[in-house]
Amino acid sequence: MTAPTTLLHLLLLAASSQSTYDAEIAAAVLDVARIHYVPPALVKAIIRCESDFDPRALSKAGAIGLMQVMTFNARRVGIAPEELWAPSKNILAGVRLIAVLLKHYDGDLISVLVAYNARPRRVSAPIPRNGETPRYVAAVLKYYQTYLGTPSSSGEVQP
């Protein structure tokens, strides 16, 4: 996205009475998702489940920011751990991870979400029954549908 286009997005979002963070988050999601071909609706769904759009979120395990990126994962995708507090860098790190997982799992969104939330697994392996991961996957899929604006009665995710 070009600088004027990004500025236009920020101005439009700010005019709609969103906070500065909201505008920055929205612009970053659009920028990064276009580069890495990760649907913005999926990015927003993950952010909603991971941090509820709180850029200062910090988990007990040490995951940081909007997309709750661990410092060791940030390094793997070329982001310095101290940069994870910046919403745009956090989103970049999270989307880079999601893009790698989408490629690794050949677009299997369930496997991608399980790997992002818990740990990588074999393709088509069952979802861990630890309680948190199945709830996480279901919640991300629900919000993904919401942000897509295309609820599905069959439960299928429409890309």
Burial class (CB in 10 A: 0-12, 13-18, 19+), 119: exposed
8 A C-beta contact, residue 71 and residue 78: no
In the annotation, is 50 catalytic?
yes
d(CA 55, CA 148): 22
Question: In a 3-state reduction of DSSP, which class is residue 64?
Answer: strand
Kindly name the residue from 24, 50, 83, 156 that is annotated as catalytic: 50
| The token pair that represents 39 in the structure block | 């649907």
> Among candidates 57, 56, 47, 9, which has minimal Cα distance to 31?
9
Q: Which residues 6+ apart lie within 8 Å of 7 measured at CB?
A: none
58 forms beta bridges with 64
| The token pair that represents 61 in the structure block | 């395990």
Active site residues: 50
